[in-house]
Each structure stands twice: as C-alpha cells, then as structure tokens.
Structure 1
Amino acid sequence: MTHSSPVPTFSARPGPADFFQGLALLLRSWSLIFRTPRLLGLSALCALVTLVALAALAVLLGAYTPELLGWLWTRPEAWYGRIFWYLILTLMFLILFVVGANIVLPVVLAPLQDPLSERTEELCGNYTSPPFQLGPFVQGLLTSVAHTLARIFFLLLGLAVLFPLNLVPVAGNTAWTVLGTLWTMLWLAGEHLAAPMTRHGYRFAEVRRVMRQRWLLCLGFGAGVFVLLWVPILNSFFLPVAVVGGTLLYRGLLVVGNVPPPPSQPIGK
C-alpha cells in the first residue's frame, strides 16, 4: 500500500493560518512514525532513553525548584500570598522542566537524530541518505553535538535576559514565565528546523531569516512540541516527533521557496 508524500503544503506567504499549520505538523509526524517501521524502531529507542531522563529531571526539579523560588521570593505567611507563591512555583517548575529537557535530551540522543531526519527525508522523496562511513559519521556527530550546544546557549541566553523580571514579586515572576515560555516555543521550532538545515550545509543566519519570515508557523510548531512534553507517556516520544516534524517543516518550506536549495547537498543528488 502506497501513501501520499508526507511533505506539508504551506502557502508561499505568511498568514494567520500558519500557526495552525505548525500545530498540524505534530499529527503528520505521529502518522509518519507509526506507519514506518524503521522510524518507529528509532523512535522507540529514543523513547526509552527519554522516559528515564524525564523522570530523573522531574525528581531533581521537584527537590530544588522550591529552594530557588524561596531565594527569589520568601514564601508569604498569609494564605492568599501562599496561593500566588505556589502558583508561581508551579509555573517555574514547568518552564525549568522544559528547558532542562531541551538541554539534556538533544545531547544524549544526538546519535539518533540524524538517522531519524534522514529517513524522514527519504520518505519525502527526492533524497537518498549517504552511505555509512565511519569518518563522516563521527564528524557529523561531533558537528551535531556542537551545534546543539550552541543553540542551547541561545536558549539560556534569552531566559537569562528575562530572568531579572523575577526580582519583581508576582507580576515579574508571571511575566518571566509567560515570556520565557514563548521564547522556548520559538526556540524549539528553531532547534528542530536547524537540524536538517545544518545537515544540508545551511548557515544558521539562514535559519534565523526563515524563522523571522515564517515566525507564526514556527511558533505553532514549537507550541505543539511544548504541549507534547506535558502529555504523560506520549512525552517519551517528544524528541522523535520534534525531529520528524522539524524535517517536514524544512521540506515544506523548501517546496514553497521560503528556503533556497541546499548549498552543499542538493536534494535528489
């Protein structure tokens, strides 16, 4: 049984529907993973590692997030003050959990990301994965890890710029959480769009240009990945879905001309 191409159909110009098309990439990714045995096998391996890592991260943050908030804002004695304090504690835990997941998981699972992305592109058509060679594999792995660490630096930099908002009790804490969440959503899209683009030799300046041009599409995709991280059991597939979705996002933007042809490895060659 044959299936239609998984490449999403985007409009060439930005529009209000972009956000929902970005969200829809998650459903497209799930469908592609579960009907492709090789993708499902790689995703299951990622899921096992992810499940253990997320559980450990949740335990660690559960122990230390109250101490961090207590350092910034002493827990009030009044009952109404405590309500706000625990609300901010919950919000802070959520965003730190997402940040922590996006620091640990991409590094730990880096060896599996390129095979997932390459197999996804093969299913999109007009692409053939290069044959395995130890030298290029090691070089590609080191490059992938280095670029991931660089992108993590930008995530932390943005959150650090916003962090002084926490010095203002209640309103500042809430503002940091909301703005930090939006920044993390956009970063999630950039992280997983940059992965296939880096593999094809694009400079990161090109990734930034595409994200500025189609920011609402990227925000929708990033929001979907962000929400996926909070769905029990399914969140163990967080990274595979994000990798497949980021690759589909790249190929969809390539088709409509928002991304120029690959500079070093043309599609179909």
Structure 2
Amino acid sequence: MRRFSGVRKGSRMREFVAGVRLFGRGFGTILRSPRLLLLGAVPALITTVLLLGAWIMLGVWLSDIATWLTPFADGWSDLARTATRVAAGIAVLGAAVAVGVVSFTALTLLIGDPFYEKISEIVDQGLGGAPDAGNSGWLRGLLQVAREVLSTVVLSVLWAIPLFLAGFIPVLGQTVVPVIAAFVGAWLLVRELVAVPFGRREIEPEQRRLLLRQRRGLAFGVGMPAYLLSIIPFAAIVVMPAAVVAATLLGRELLGQPTGVRLR
C-alpha cells in the first residue's frame, strides 16, 4: 500500500473556507464545460429520478409511518400525541434524507463510474497530470467502487439509527440532531467522492481516510455544500459532476499536488 504523509496547515475554519472554494471551482469548471456537465449529468439524472420517487412515496406514507412507530401515544392527549408523532415524522424524514443523499452519491458513482473516472482524468490532465495515477482496469475499478458503495451505505444506515432515536428528544431532536446528521452525511459523502481520484492512484481506503482526517476542515468544506445541495430535487444533476471535480482538486491538495492552474 502506498504511503503518503499528507499536508497539514491552517486553522479548521480557514481550511473549511478553502474547501468551499474548491467546491466553487468545481461548480465553475462544470458550468464552463458542457462536455464535463453532460458526462456527469446522465448517471445523476437516473439516480435522481429513482431517489425522488422513493422520497415522494415516503412523504405520502410519512403520517402512517409516524403513527406505526408511536403506538404508545395512542392513549395520550391530542396535543401530546400530535407532538410525538410530528417529532417521529421529522426524525424519519431526517434519517431518510441523510441515508438518501449518501446512498444517492454511492449509487450514482456506481452507475456512472466510467463517466466520473473520465471527468477526474480530464481535471488531472488540466492541472499537469497525476504522476502517481495508474490504470487498474475497468472491472477492478468498478469492483472497488462497489465495495466503497456498500461500506458507505452500511455506515450511513448505522448512523441513521441513533440519529433517528435522538430525533425524539424535545427541541434538540429538531435542532441539534439535523445539524449532526448534516455533518455525518457530508463526511460520508466526501469520503465516497474522493474514491474516484484516489482509486485512480491506487490509494487504499484506509490511507484515504487518514488523509481526510488530517485535513478535516478542507474535507468538510467540499463535502458540506455538496451534501446540502444534493438534498434539492434535481440539483444533484449538476452537483454530482461539480463534486467530482472538487473531489479531484481535494485529492490533489491532500497529496500536495498542484491545484492552482486554470482548467481549460
């Protein structure tokens, strides 16, 4: 396994702002390049339609699900029963969004692996190339992505369970818990996104996570806007290719490779 020491610099807030700028550069690159936008839009569109359908079904059945989850409230007063079931509905919705966004990215990367590999390669070439990038083959690359997809989905579900239960806590469940869920989702999302450029460099998952932990602020700066924007229906069609560009820039920054050359 290749070893990289990583680069550690700056405060967390400055790092976060720098990460947001990387995401902004990813967005700007996609908007200036119809070719990259089209490459990334097709798999994102397919997954968006599937996920939106699932969320619509959840919305239709949300009241019944909240009632089913809170049978203990049947004999309570109208106010207490309604408040409890509203909290349950919010908790279910928050957990579904957290799992859905991360699963969306994982599924989109699996469907669109050849497209996003090409986008990442084009970005690397525009920034002077990737000296340690290899060619692991299409099948091996797909298997690596599938393994990462499964790992991410399992982790997102495991996180969703305690966050769902915490959603029943009065006030905190409707304020603090969604914020925690956003940070968890952003971290899992950026971990999934960097699998594209790091996979091309044959960097093992354990080493990827180490590099991300060394620059958490930078990683969250890329992951948080990508996560929040992916919640908006159909926005992910543009967000996903932009996030792949940003993740490639993030990967280069984590490895100490140049990121400042303007892409063409």
The answer as to 2:126 corresponding to 1:123 is: yes
State yes or no: 1:38 paired with 2:41.
no
Q: Gaps (5+ residues) in structure 1?
A: 1-10, 258-269
After superposition, the C-alpha distances for 1:173-229 in whole angstroms (9 at most, x for unaligned) are 435433222211111121112332122111222122122221122122221012212
Number of matched residues? Answer: 243
- For residue 219 of structure 1, what is the aligned residue in structure 2? 220
Aligned residue for 2:190, secondary structure, equals: helix
Distance 1:158 1:55, change over 3 A: closer
TM-score, normalization by structure 1: 0.75
User: Identity of paired residues, percent?
Assistant: 24
Q: Distance in 1 between matches of 2:147 and 2:23?
A: 26
Indicate whether 1:112 and 2:115 are aligned: yes
Distance 1:19 1:48 in 2: 29
Q: Distance in 1 between matches of 2:109 and 2:18?
A: 25
Calculate the aligned-residue CA RMSD, in Å.
3.2
TM-score by length of 2: 0.76
Relative distance call for 1:55 and 1:160 in structure 2 (3 A) is: closer
How far off its partner does 1:169 sit? Answer: 4.4
Q: Where does residue 207 of structure 2 map in the other structure?
A: 206
Equivalent in the alignment of 1:60: 57
Distance 1:57 1:184 in 2: 18
Cα distance in 2 for partners of 1:126, 1:112 equals 18
Instruction: Call closer, same or farther: CA 1:178–1:65 in 2, change over 3 Å.
Output: farther
In the TM superposition, residue 116 of structure 1 has moved relative to its aligned partner by: 2.2
Output the amino acid matched with 1:118.
Answer: E
Residues 107-133 of structure 1: CA distance to partner in whole angstroms, max 9, x if unpaired?
A: 3333433222222222222238878xx
Alpha-carbon spacing, 1:130–1:190, altered in 2? closer, same or farther (3 Å): closer
How far did residue 38 of structure 1 move?
A: 2.7
Which residue of structure 2 lines up, in the alignment, with residue 13 of structure 1? 9
Residue of structure 1 equivalent to 2:4:
none
* 251 and 211 in structure 1: CA distance in 2 versus 1, 3 angstrom threshold: same
